[in-house]
Structures are given as structure tokens and as C-alpha cells.
Amino acid sequence: MESLKQSWRILTDGFLNSYAQVFFSDDRKLGWILLFVSFIDVNAGLSGAIAAIVSNLAAQLMGFDTWFTKKGYYGYNSLLVGLGFGLTFNVGPAFFLLLLVAALLTFFFTIAFQGFFFKYGLPYLSIPFLLGIWLVMMASAEFSELGLSTRGIFIHNELFAIGGKGLIDGVSWFDEWISHEWIRTYLFSLGAIFFQYNLLAGLLIAIGILLYSRIAFTLSIYGFMLAWGFYHITGADISVLGYSYIGFNYILTSIAIGGFFIIPSRWSYLWLIWLLPMVIMVTLSLQKLFAFLQLGLYALPFNVVVITFLYVLKIRIKPGHRLIETPVQLFSPEKNLYQLRTNVNRFHSIDYQPIGLPVIGEWTVSQAYDGELTHKGEWAQALDLIILGNNKKQFRGGR
């Protein structure tokens, strides 16, 4: 019974964290908000939830690390594929069959990329999602029973069917209320991360990020402002941000480098001034290639720049103290920063905490490394400590 309850807890934690991990988090409040946002389009929300459940269940049944499962590492890429799948295609028998196949395929990609990238201390980010969604989109033309969805094309008809004229009037008021182009594009970009192309989704996600982390929230705005300014300064077509919803690449890059994989500091913020133009360069160049292939670019620029930059940092000979990689991930920029400051103040060390024996005074080692009796295999590096009296003997009976 206890084992069943534990398995259920792992599955439920992994499911909710699959949503939060999209923003590098394990915060339950953010997870619930993102789950709700995903169901603004019911079909997308349902297929995303199914894909996340399938991946987490597969990880548990196949015996993969429960810590990674609970943190949502094995589910968020499949979740994103499911969201895109549900938004693009009509529901039916073929839909659910192919959704299961796509979710499992993305899960296998996740495991494979984890094994490869973790050897170098690098994240695989959303590369499994990219491969999964691209393969789905390229193969979909061959499945005659998988019809393309028309949802989102005649949006007012859909709103009227749900809530009548009152709902249409409410949505129109909300749309007019948020009128500034920069804010609209920022919110549309946030919503697009969960395949929800509307202002309400973006606003709810922004609130969720703010509740989870003020640093992450400010970084999302800071990164988008830098990208917006670069588009203006260079004369690039800024309208692309409005109709292609690719602005989330700049938001995710800013959060990832500014405060998650790097300890938040003025140096991490300054480096974004150089890194975000790189993301824009990669985005504008790859858009031409992917338009020819008739595939969405999605989060590819974010993945390319972030993984490349983190790899560059890994091979530094002298890491230094200005741009500091997060030594132990606590899934919160604030917690990561607090832990670093604590280590510096208490142990005068950024990365390592000094380890000493858990005893005070003089003790005797009765059996050391690779001992003859029990120190074998994974216990070979153990030490057995005993305390001796003045007569150099151990305590026995009443003496």
C-alpha cells in the first residue's frame, strides 16, 4: 500500500512539474497556473496532459530515476509536443493513437539526450520537443485520418459558441485595454510557449512567473526589452515578433542565462546584452531555412545559443567569480543566489563545501578503505571509527 502511494505521489509530482519545468521551475503554484492556461484551448490542454502522463508513467514503469521523474524532467518535452499536436489536428481515433506514439518518441529522445548532454554537465532543454514536433509535422501529411484543425481561424464564431455575445464583448474589451504594442507582443510571446496565442494566456503566465520568482519575471521583461530594442536599432522587421510569436526565445534565454543556469548578478544581466542579439541573429537566419522546409522554428534559437554558451563556460580554465554557474540547482534564481552567498559567508567557497569527519576529538580507525571484513564494493571507501579509553581498549560490560 505504501509503495502504491509513493508511486502515485511520484506520478502526480512529475505531472505538475512537467508544466513548471518549461520555466525551469518546480513551483507548484506556477505548475497549476500553467496547467490551467493550457486548457484555454481544451483540445490542446487535453492532449498536452495525456502526453505528460504517458511520459511520466513510462519513466516510472521503465525504472528511470525517480528524482528526475518527480522534477518533471521526463515530461515537459512530451507535454509541449502534446500541446502543439492538440492545437494543430482534429480529435479522433487516429489523433489519440498518434499522440501516444509522439509522446513516447519524445520521451525516448529525452532519455537519449539526457544521457549525452549530462556527460558534459549540460542541459538538453527542449531539443527532444523540437525533434518530436518536427517529425510529427512532417509525417502528418501521410495520415489521411488525421485532419487539420481550423480552430483559431474563426475565433469570434468559437467564442460565440462558448459564451455568446457577452464573451465576445468581454474579449474585445480586454483586447482594447491592453493596447500598447510592446506589452501585447510580450504577452503573446509568453502565451505562445504553451501554444496559446492570446493575451489572457500571456497575462496569466506572467502572473505565474511573478509569483514563482521576481528575478525570473524581471528577466523575462528585461530580455524581451533588449530584443525589442535591437530590432529597432538594426532596422530588422519587428512585425515578425507580432505574427510569428517567436519572442519567447528571448524570454527563455534571459531567464536561463540571467538567473537559472548562472547565478543572478549584474554580470549575468550584462552578458544578456551580447547573447540576445546572437539569439536574434540565429532566429532571423534560420527562419529562411525553416520557411523553405515548411517547419516552425519554435525554440530552436534559444536552445542553440544557451547550450553553446553554457558549453563555452564549461571549458574555461579559470572560471572566475563574475559569471558563476549554479553549482547545485534549487530551481529558483532567488534560492540559487541565497545558497551561493551562504557558501561564501560560511565556507569562503563558491562551489565546494569542506567536508570533515562527523566527530570531535581523537578517534581510532578500526577498519579503513578496502577493508578485509565488510568494506567491499560500493562500501570500499568507508571508515569504521571507534573510541578508546585511557587503557587503549574499547568499553566492555560495566567497564
pLDDT tens digits, 29-59: 999 999 999 998 889 999 999 999 999 999 9
pTM of the model: 0.83
Outline where 21-154 has alpha helix (H). Answer: 28-38, 42-61, 66-70, 76-88, 93-117, 127-139
Model confidence at 167, pLDDT cuts 50, 70, 90, reads low
pLDDT tens digits, 358-398: 666 677 877 778 777 777 777 777 877 777 777 777 766 65
What CA–CA distance (Å, rounded) separates 103 from 110?
Answer: 10
What is the predicted pLDDT for the residue at 62?
Answer: 93
What is the predicted pLDDT for the residue at 306?
Answer: 97
What CA–CA distance (Å, rounded) separates 99 from 86?
Answer: 9
pLDDT tens digits, 222-254: 999 999 999 989 888 777 776 667 889 999 999
Specify the residue for cell string 579559470: 318
Task: Report the candidate in 245, 146, 158, 157 with the shortest Cα–Cα distance to residue 205.
Answer: 245
What is the predicted pLDDT for the residue at 213?
Answer: 95
What CA–CA distance (Å, rounded) separates 124 from 99?
Answer: 22
What CA–CA distance (Å, rounded) separates 247 from 351?
Answer: 34
Q: 3-state DSSP call for residue 1? A: coil
pLDDT tens digits, 293-327: 888 889 999 999 999 999 999 998 887 778 888 88
Query: For all residues of the chain together, what is the average pLDDT?
Result: 86
What is the predicted pLDDT for the residue at 399?
Answer: 53
What is the predicted pLDDT for the residue at 270?
Answer: 95
- Return the H-helix or E-strand segment holding 384: strand 384-386
Local structure of residue 366 (DSSP, 8 states): E
Question: Taking phi first (over 0 means left), then psi (-120 to 50 degrees means alpha), and beta for anything else, what does residue 204 get?
Answer: alpha
Specify the residue for cell string 530580455: 223
What is the predicted pLDDT for the residue at 81?
Answer: 96
Q: 3-state DSSP call for residue 261? A: coil
Partners of 386 in the beta sheet? 364
Q: Is the dihedral of CA 353, 354, 356, 361 positive or negative?
A: negative
What CA–CA distance (Å, rounded) separates 177 from 163?
Answer: 20
Q: What is the DSSP string of 154-198?
A: SHHHHHHHHHHHHHHHHHHHHHHHS--HHHHHHHHHHHHTTT--S
C-beta of residue 63 within 8 angstroms of C-beta of residue 3: no
- What letters, b where the CB count within 10 A reaches 16 and e where it falls short, cover 335-369? ebbebbeebeeeeeeeeeeeeeeeeeeeeeeeeee
Averaged pLDDT for residues 197-219: 94
